Every structure is written in structure tokens, then in C-alpha cells.
Amino acid sequence: MTINTKKQEDPMSTVTPTRAPHQDVPTGHKPAEGRVGAGLFDPRQLVKSLPDAFRKLGPRVMVKSPVMFVVLIGSVVTTVLAIKTPGDWFGWVIAAWLWLTVVFANLAEAVAEGRGRAQADTLRKAKTDTVARRLVGDSEERVPGTELKVGDLVVCEADDTIPGDGDVVEGVASVDESAITGESAPVIRESGGDRSAVTGGTKVLSDRIVIKITTKPGETFIDRMINLVEGAARQKTPNEIALNILLASLTIVFLLAVVTLKPFAIYAGADKQTSMIVLTALLVCLIPTTIGALLSAIGIAGMDRLVQRNVLAMSGRAVEAAGDVSTLLLDKTGTITLGNRQAAEFVPVRGTTEPEVADAAQLSSLADETPEGRSIVVLAKEKHGLRERHQGELVGAEWIAFTAQTRMSGVDVDGRKVRKGAAGSVIAWVQEQGGTVAEDADTTANRISEAGGTPLLVAVEDDRGARILGVIHLKDVVKEGMRERFEELRRMGIKTVMITGDNPLTAKAIAEEAGVDDFLAEATPEDKMALIKREQAGGKLVAMTGDGTNDAPALAQADVGVAMNTGTSAAKEAGNMVDLDSNPTKLIEIVEIGKQLLITRGALTTFSIANDVAKYFAIIPAMFAVAYPSLDKLNIMGLASPESAILSAVIFNALIIIVLVPLALRGVQYRPMSADRMLRRNLGIYGLGGLIAPFIGIKLIDLLISLIPGIG
């Protein structure tokens, strides 16, 4: 990968006073109860979803699933035939179980949609009709929030509900976004940065902001969330459409095969054993009804699992693409590292000791409120037992604040002057005071820089003169467990690329420590876009995260673009997913959920087709054993009678759908491994399991049926 070679920035720039780490990236966040729905399958949801399952029996709805539409027609045909022969209990029982098969299939989809509606109901509570204070020139006018147009400026102050989606163009305020994110901690929204986007329905807690409306009424973020979690906006993905075509083709093949059995049966004298009811039962058992019934539920549940993790997917295509991703672009700061450089060690120069360096470093950092300054104070306390002092304790102290010109900070107290800062600035200060610079000060600083760290020199002027005491090693701390997670991604065949604005030396050191496959240093928006296009040109799918307006082009170009909820409106519009928690590391979880969706669909398809093979051994011998006694050898299950065999197969075919609903909603457990190993594993579990389960299930049902007088 090409690495730009720009001049390295002065390391002291990292200690510029900044706002404390923002609360927008909660750790260990748990979604609000009731907003995301149950994570696992809830049997009570079956009862609640039954009315919807019956409402879906309309032909216009059923025709969307070719396999289940054929089952519906078979149910109608067998019901008509049973009515014509009212004394034929066999026909009535077959018709009843075929209807149950259709209802069970609709129930799987209804349960998945029901969970989405529960989430949508909670979101609707956050969607209130508000009165907006619209700016017209220098005055305000109160208008209903529904009358706002794109480009309108509105004012919001403490306790006001934000009337629509937009960007803060003036001011800074604390905002309660718990209705959207489920996180009770307020967040800061301000103009002129990447944290300017606000969402309609959230509440301003303090201060005053002016918002520029960016969406039309009815198209707000909450409106889109409601449509998506309800499934109203869900479109079938290309893979799902392709699988539907395959299932429809298999259905046509089996339909032709079953139709041709009738002439053979008449010729063989087995006409009674191949009645229209029996042939219909055979067709339903042989076509892939299991996966046909669960296919839609699997797709809906995949999006639901993302919502449970506070990620909003704008389409099922995005979820599916996440499962096929082969390249991950990850920001270094806040994703791979903690985001703030931390003091790692105190390195004394010749003639001084480490405790001396620690004491001076802590003293010079007491007024430094940056994360780096705080980490120096903590390290001196933890490693050297130095009690944390406070500014108020140092009577008569003169605090020297950091400035871009001096690139130093420190304190003058008790006749001592202590300074810490960039190597060049501190060395120049020591020389100005008439002191000498230790030979190993510069070499130590260079060694730390080459290792990817940031060196800060510590100096003092006292009755012994001005001199360098040592070097503070600031280190970009890699988050715990990141190397292991990247190793998992590598086993999945996914390439990880770290994106950073750091110089190449620092970027290389962090990349090696974190265990990423590659890195792009001093990255610009154009560099990100070029990298994505190069990866895509090689046939790879690319995923990335971003939150700024400058990330929007790359987010739009990526196959999976995850925008942070704290980011700008442009970033959220460009991406096809929005992370409500604004946690960049969640991209790894999104990829795992996408893969779980694909694995679940593949596993249940394998199970369904293998399932159908086993049913041959139940129905075919029952149909033709009378005409061809040699076929009785295929009756390896030893079923009681032809009627019992056919009925057992139909009952099993219906029950297996309801048994697999929890698996379809929860998803097959995902484990990082290579594609060929995963294929072997799923074939072993779901392929072999699909062959064995019908033998056991049909035999058990047959034993129960055979106990009924007149059947066994």
C-alpha cells in the first residue's frame, strides 16, 4: 500500500488542551429495555402473532413465496376433495395438516415482524408533534413542526423538543437522545464540527442552539427507523431473490415429477394408492417447504439482530453485504486505540533517576487537563507512589499554560521552574536559561519516536541550574483484545486496514502492535476513496466507518458504510447503516451478524433439502409397495401402514417448521473459521442432521398414530 511521506507533526501538538473524551461512545452499552425486543425467541410471541399469520393467508401475500403458494393451493385442493367425500377421515386430516403447514410458515414471518412492530411502537412514542420556533430574519415565529421545510432555521433552548432532523449551525447544547439510543447520558451537540447532527424528537437539556432543518416531515430519522424495524421498507436482497428462484425451480421439477406418477400408477394398478390427496401430500413433502417457510423470517431477524445492537440498517442488502465483506477499513483513533495518548514510562537521562523525572513530570502536569496530562499524573502515582497533588496545595505557584507558540507547559514554585513539552521547545528553553542538554536526551526522544510513541521532555531550573531530567513516553494505547479480534477476522478471510492521520513511523508501530494486516498513514479523504476503489477493483467487498462530512464520499463508495449517529447529516445520508451508539468498533460485530445471516440461510437450506430426501423413504414405499412388493424394502423405518406413513410425513413436515422458528430468529451460532471448514461443519451438522431427523421424527409420529384404532 502506498504511504504518503509528509513532514511529521510536532509531537507536542498532542497535548493541546481539548474537550474531555465525549460521552457519545458508551462502553458496555445495553439497549433500553423494550426498545430492541427480546434477544432470544419468546414462545409467547407465537400466540401474539397468530392473528397476523391467518391474515397472511391471502393469495396476494402468499404468491410472494412460490413454495408456500403451492402448499396453499394444495391445502385448498385437499379440502375440496375432503368435502366431496365426507366419510374420508384421511383426506380431512391431510387437509388440516396442510393448512397448518401454511399457517406455521406465516407464523415464522409474523413473529419476526411482530418483534419489529414492538420496537416501532416505542419509537413512535418519541415522535411527537412539536411547535417549532422558526427564525424569520431577526424575529421568531411559532409553527407546527410538520410545516418545516428543508433549509429552515429553528431555535431550541433548554427543555425544548427538537422539531426535526438537522445540523447545529450556531451554539452548543447538551441533548438527551435516550429516545433514540436508549443511553441516558446526555451528549453534546455543537456547530462547526462532526458532532453537529441532531435528531427530531430528542430533547435539549441546556443552552441554546440554532438548527438548520435537513429533512422533510415524514422523512425524518425516526420515521425511517419505524419503517425499517417494522419491515415495511425491507426489500429482498439479491441472494434472497436468487434462492427464491432456485426454490421455485425445484418446486416446478417436483410438480412435474408428481404429475407423471399418476399414469405410472394407473398402469401398475396402484390407482387407489395414488389418489389426488396422496399426490398432493407427496408434492408438499418433497418441495423445500422448510426453507421456503423460514426464508423471509431469516432476513427480517437478521436486521432485528442489528437493531438489538443499536445499529440501523437502511436495507437488507447492507446486512447481507456485511456477511460477504473481505476488507475492513478501521480508524485508528477510538477504534483500534483508546483515542488519547497515555503516559507509558518515564525515561531518565544520564545523571538523574526515574523518581526524579516522575516527580517533575507530575508537578508540571497538575494544571494540564488534557487526557495526556491526566495520564502523566496517574502514572507517577501508580508507578512511583507519588501522592496526587492539587494546584491549591502549591501556595504562590505560577502555572505556565501550554500555547501553540511555546509548545510547553509547567509551573514555577518554591524557587524551581519545571517544564515539559516538545523536545525542540524544551531544549531551546534549557539553553536560554544557560543550562546544558544531556547527550542522551535527543537520542532517547528519537528512539521513542521511531517506536511509534510521542516523546515529551521534562526539564527543571533550580539552584543547580537548568537541565533536562528525562523523557515522558506517550503511547497510543491499543484496546485490550484487539489483536485477538483481528486474528479472528483473519481466520474468516477478512483483511484489516488501519486508517490514520499519523506519520508512517507511528502508524507502523501501532499496526504491528494491534495486529492489523495493513495501514494507510496520513490519510486524506481522497486516499480513503482510492483505497476502497482499489480493493473493489479486485472483486472485494469493503466496509468502513465514518462520522464527518469528509468521510461521506468514502462511506457512499464502500459496500458497507457505517455512519456514527453523532456524525454529520451528510455522513448518515451517505452510509447504509447508522450506529446509534457511535462506537466505531461495532463494525466488527456488524460483519459477524452479516455472516451469521448468510450462514443461517445456508444451514437451513441444507437442512431443508436433506430433509426432503428422507421423506422419500416414508411416502414412496407406501404408495407403490402394493403394486411393486419389492419396494417394501425401502420401508426401512418399518412404518405401520400406507396411510400412517403418508400422514406421519405430512405432520412432520409441518411441525419441523415451528421447531426451527427459534433457530431462524436467533441465527446459527457463528464461529470464526475458513470457508471450507465452515462448509464441512454445516454439512455435517445440518446436512446429516437433515437426513437423520425425519427418520426419527416420522417414526415417532407413526408409532403414535398406529395407536389410534382404525389406522394402525
pLDDT along the chain (712 residues), means of 10: 37 34 35 38 71 88 90 94 84 93 89 69 64 87 86 91 88 82 74 78 88 82 68 63 88 88 74 78 89 86 80 79 88 74 87 89 81 84 71 71 77 88 88 85 83 85 89 84 84 86 79 89 86 90 83 88 80 84 80 89 91 79 70 75 86 92 86 79 89 90 82 55
Pick the catalytic residue: 331, 579, 581, 702? Answer: 331
Query: What's the rounded Cα separation, in Å, for the pair 75 and 81?
Result: 10
Residues near 113 by Cβ (< 8 Å), separated by ≥ 6? 49, 52, 230, 231, 300
Cα-atom radius of gyration of the chain, to the nearest Å? 34
Tell me if 665 sits within 8 A of 112, measured CB to CB. Answer: yes
Q: CATH 2.70.150.10 in the chain: give the residue spans.
A: 131-229
- Give the residue range(s) of CATH 3.40.1110.10 domains in the chain: 338-477
- Pick out the residues of the known binding site: 368, 372, 402-409, 420, 547, 551
H or E element that contains 580: none
68 in Cβ contact with 284 (< 8 Å):
no
Reply yes or no on domain 131-229 having CATH 2.60.120.10.
Answer: no
Place of cell 519545571: 418
Q: 573: closest CA among 192, 162, 178, 219? A: 219
Q: What angle do CA 590, 593, 594 make, to 5 degrees?
A: 85
Outline which parts of the chain fall under CATH 3.40.50.1000.
311-334+480-580
Q: In 567-687, which ranges are continuous DSSP H helix?
A: 569-574, 586-624, 642-666, 675-682
338-477, CATH topology level: Calcium-transporting ATPase, cytoplasmic domain N (3.40.1110)
Q: How far apart are CA 377 and CA 423, in angstroms?
A: 20
d(C-alpha 109, C-alpha 664), whole Å: 10
One DSSP character per residue, 214-229 reads -S-TT-SHHHHHHHHH
Question: Catalytic site residue 331?
Answer: yes
In 3D, which of 294, 296, 335, 299 has the Cα closest to residue 318? 299
Residue in the structure block whose three cell numbers are 437451513: 604
Among candidate residues 239, 200, 281, the one with its CA nearest the CA of residue 642 = 281
Residue 517 has what pLDDT? 92
In contact, 79 and 97? CB cutoff 8 Å? no
* pLDDT value for 43: 67
Max CA pair span of the chain = 119
- The Cα–Cα gap between 310 and 182 comes to 9
- Binding residue numbers for ATP: 368, 372, 402-409, 420
Three-state secondary structure readout of 319-380: HHHHHCCCEEEEECECCCEEEEEEEEEEEECCCCCHHHHHHHHHHHCCCCCCHHHHHHHHHH
Instruction: Out of 3.40.50.170, 2.30.40.10, 3.40.50.12780, 3.40.50.1000, select the CATH number for domain 311-334+480-580.
Output: 3.40.50.1000
What's the DSSP call for residue 275? -
